[in-house]
Amino acid sequence: MDAIFVSVRTGYWLKVLEFNSTSDWSQLKSGLETVLDHDSDVYMQLQNVRHDWAYPLHRVGRHDHSQLASLLLCAGLPVDTPDSDGHTLLHGAAEGGHLQLVKLLLEHGADVDVQGSRGDTPLMGATECGYLEVAKVLVQARADTSLRDSNGRTALDLANLLGRTELVHYLKRFSH
């Protein structure tokens, strides 16, 4: 079962808030806002029996909960935590076309060139799914357009293969 444990220490008191996969995400957001509104030391820990430590954060990314992601990141959750496929939240946000979340993650220092277990990058994900504006933000953040996946393809190769003409025209300007 996925769970997020938030430990709040105020003086000598320690309170642990637990949210699991059956919890309402708005309840988690409300709980975190309450915690962060007080001058408390906050420690957040993710636990998952499958050892997929990033799952709760990735779930936030897939559903474009930018505000909740911001709360989790401000509370100290590492921005580049990979899931079992080596994908980070930036991969999910790029593949989902969540432009504001992509910008937020980059502001929090997300690795724009992080590669999953198959060598795929967030730029490749945005390209594959046809999100030109997301691709532009990633390239402006200095995404390496020459990186190749495990099949030897770049983001430009994927755009060509999938017939994403606007992305082809855009990415050609940055190919080496």
For 80-128, what is each residue's pLDDT tens digit? Answer: 878 778 888 899 889 989 899 999 999 999 999 999 999 999 999 999 9
57 and 96, same domain (yes or no) = no
**Has residue 147 got a pLDDT over 90?**
yes
132 and 45, same domain (yes or no) = no
Please give the C-alpha separations between residue 50 and each of 47, 55, 143, 172, in angstroms, as whole numbers. 9, 10, 31, 41
CB-based contacts of 16, cutoff 8 Å, min separation 6: 5, 6, 7, 8
Domain that holds residue 18: 1-78
The count of domains in the chain is 2
118 and 70, same domain (yes or no) = no
What pLDDT score does 165 carry?
Answer: 97
Domain finish residue from 29, 56, 78: 78
103 and 26, same domain (yes or no) = no
97 and 174, same domain (yes or no) = yes
108 and 163, same domain (yes or no) = yes
Percent of the chain with pLDDT over 70: 57
Assess contact for 64 and 93: CB atoms under 8 A: yes
36 and 83, same domain (yes or no) = no
More confident residue, 31 or 37: 31
90 and 175, same domain (yes or no) = yes
User: Please, which pLDDT band fits residue 153 given cuts at 50, 70 and 90?
Assistant: very high
Q: Which two tokens stand for residue 176?
A: 């080496």
162 and 88, same domain (yes or no) = yes
More confident residue, 3 or 71: 71
The answer to whether the predicted template modeling score (pTM) of the entire model surpasses 0.95 is no
